[in-house]
Structure 1
Amino acid sequence: MKKTLNVTWLGEQRYLGVAESGHQLLIDNSAVKVGVSPMEALLGALATCTAYDVVEIMNKRRTPLTHYRIEVEGERADTTPKRYTHITVRHIASGPGITEEALHRAAHLSHEKYCSVAASLNSEIVVETRVEAADPAADPA
């Protein structure tokens, strides 16, 4: 199964990603930001992927969450590339019958088994780069 996202440069360091579903994502690393940076988007992808799993797992165990948030923090290398060297994902939740142990099990299952973003971060991914010159006459801008 393939997923696609087309990204268009909007000027400065601002980009608009449009998924095949038509949904949009604004990525911005300009001096005056109006969107998240690429590295913040990566943290957000990890957090929301695992959140989806945890909510589903807790619902299936008949202990639905009433309040839930994730705090995610990434430590970056000082060298180029400034990749993440350590990411901490903190799950904070409450609800009737919710225990820290049950929440821990759900979060662990997500990170170790179900979350495709976490699995992607933990694996060797083959990234293929291709380039092609665009026809300036065909540019819709």
Structure 2
Amino acid sequence: MTPTEKTMTIHHAGAQRYVTRNAGGQQLIIDMTPEHPLGVGPMDAVFGALAACTMSDIVNILEKRRTPATRYRVELTGKRDGDASPPRYYHYLMRHYVSGPGITQQDVEKAAHLSHEKYCTVGASLNAEVDFEVIIEPE
């Protein structure tokens, strides 16, 4: 295994708002304020990341087969265990709606399987046991 690292910096922006910035300077606002949120909630960000990761894989696979998607959307539903603490998601249902010249349902199913089993790093990370290390330092 060749380890690689990714770094993000997250700043508290007041109330329950957080601004995340990656090493390239791109940002995402995570906002848990109940009124007038400026960004998405944490689990919405995870949902979006999971769907985008899978969709990216499928788009690339279809393009390599010379059957590019002309329209593509995903609807993602998650089931959460309300009795657990914290109430984690234990099931995801991802519905793919894909169209384009020459694209068959079988092509999309095969591409989705490859994404889930081999390529999507977000899905693999959600399925993995992850070690957490916490270091507290003064600001």
TM above 0.5, one fold?
yes
Q: How does 1:5-20 map to 2 (within 5 A)?
A: 5-20=8-23
Identity level (%): 49
Q: Give 1:80 shift.
A: 2.1
Residues 1:84 and 2:89 are matched in the alignment? yes
Q: How does 1:97-136 map to 2 (within 5 A)?
A: 97-134=102-139
Q: Report how many residues are paired.
A: 134
Q: Deviations over 1:69-104 (max 9, x none)?
A: 111111112132021111111111000011111101
Q: Name structure 1 gaps, 5 residues minimum.
A: 135-141
Question: Normalization by structure 2: what TM-score?
Answer: 0.93
Cα distance between partner residues in 2 of 1:91 and 1:108: 12
Letter in 2 for 1:4: T
Residues 1:4 and 2:2 are matched in the alignment? no
Letter in 2 for 1:10: A
Letter in 2 for 1:104: E
Q: Name structure 2 gaps, 5 residues minimum.
A: none
Alignment RMSD (CA, Å): 0.9
Q: Give 1:48 shift.
A: 0.5
Q: Give 1:34 shift.
A: 1.6
Q: How does 1:44-55 map to 2 (within 5 A)?
A: 44-55=48-59
Q: Give 1:24 shift.
A: 0.4
